[in-house]
Structure 1
Amino acid sequence: MEIEIRDITPEEAAPYGENADIVLTGRKAVVFTDADGNVGRLYMKEEDIDLLGKQYIAENSALEYSKVCEEWFPKVSWNAYKNDPQRNPPKTIDVEFVCDMDSERTEIWRRLDTGGYLMRKLCNEPFARWLVCRERQGWWEDGACVRPNITFRHRKQTEKVRYDDWNETAAYSDTFNPNFREG
């Protein structure tokens, strides 16, 4: 994928009308061209461009055609960046089960190293989202997602979380452990 990063032109800003200043402030036009000559445009935040870099964006992007809009739309994947073991070193955290939340497929776990609490939200698929949580007025309140590359260990069972653009940091089908609670 070849990319060009440049200022947004007045013609590109025109469809946003009066709101162009608000919507496009701090953004640059990134023009993507694939090997077949298909072209798509994305208005990325300058901070994201600076963080990822031109080479990363070029290597971790794809164009998808929309039949409805009859145009190509670029997607930039954050997977390689977020799952980079140098950026987010692998870590194992031992946990113990605390309780189930009433009428939800959600479990509360306690970290054995810090005593902090974690929420494990389960789905109908082999998927679990891990969040930091705390008890507040008799109820468990969820917080931020945990970072990628953490392996949770409950006795002999483990479950690893990784980042995926689809649903951010979670245990996906390849790392989800249906027997995790059994230890």
Structure 2
Amino acid sequence: MGAVLGLLVVAAGCARQVPPDLVAGAPATTQAGTPAGDIAVQVLRRYLGTPSENSFPERAFPTVYVMDHTFGDAADPSGKQAGGAPIPAATQQRIAEALAPATKVVFVADRETVLEHKESCARVKDDAILITLGPPVGDARRVTVGVNGFVACLGATWLTYVVQYQSGDGWQVTGTTGSMSIA
């Protein structure tokens, strides 16, 4: 969940990206001692398991494509999703294992590789969903993570989750913040 820049700016420059293990080459744990992959797992579970947030009330996605970079503008429908920070291979593996066997997670470097019918109404192949994550922005107790889920030209959502560290329970999504867009 690499370099998805924070969509929520916390009080004039106080926001910072955590935890660093979502960025290649960074340490593997947050100040709270919890791997950043745990945050991504909780965000993906919440998004995929909450139809009112993913806009697909009667649909489970056995295959989920996830961009292998995080993008700061993931929750912005007008975002360019350029650049981004890579999600380390170990974090990708941790996420895929945590969601298996119910969900097959496949990380992709280029969204175009999983899209069909690009000349008309693009859609994700294999009746799957493509998810782009933002980097966690906040501190060792509370972060925000932007999310974009794309199924087709008229099937996409953009929103930002609030994720908090709770003693005994670890990282938990506690809600959303800011606007939510649906196409």
Regarding TM over 0.5, the answer is no
> Which structure: greater strand fraction?
1
Identify the structure with bigger relative contact order (alpha carbons < 8 Å, sequence gap 6+).
Answer: 2
Class of the TM-score when normalised by the shorter of the 2 chains: under 0.3
Whichever of the two has the greater Rg, that structure is 1
TM-score by length of structure 2 reads 0.26
**TM-score normalised according to structure 1 size:** 0.26
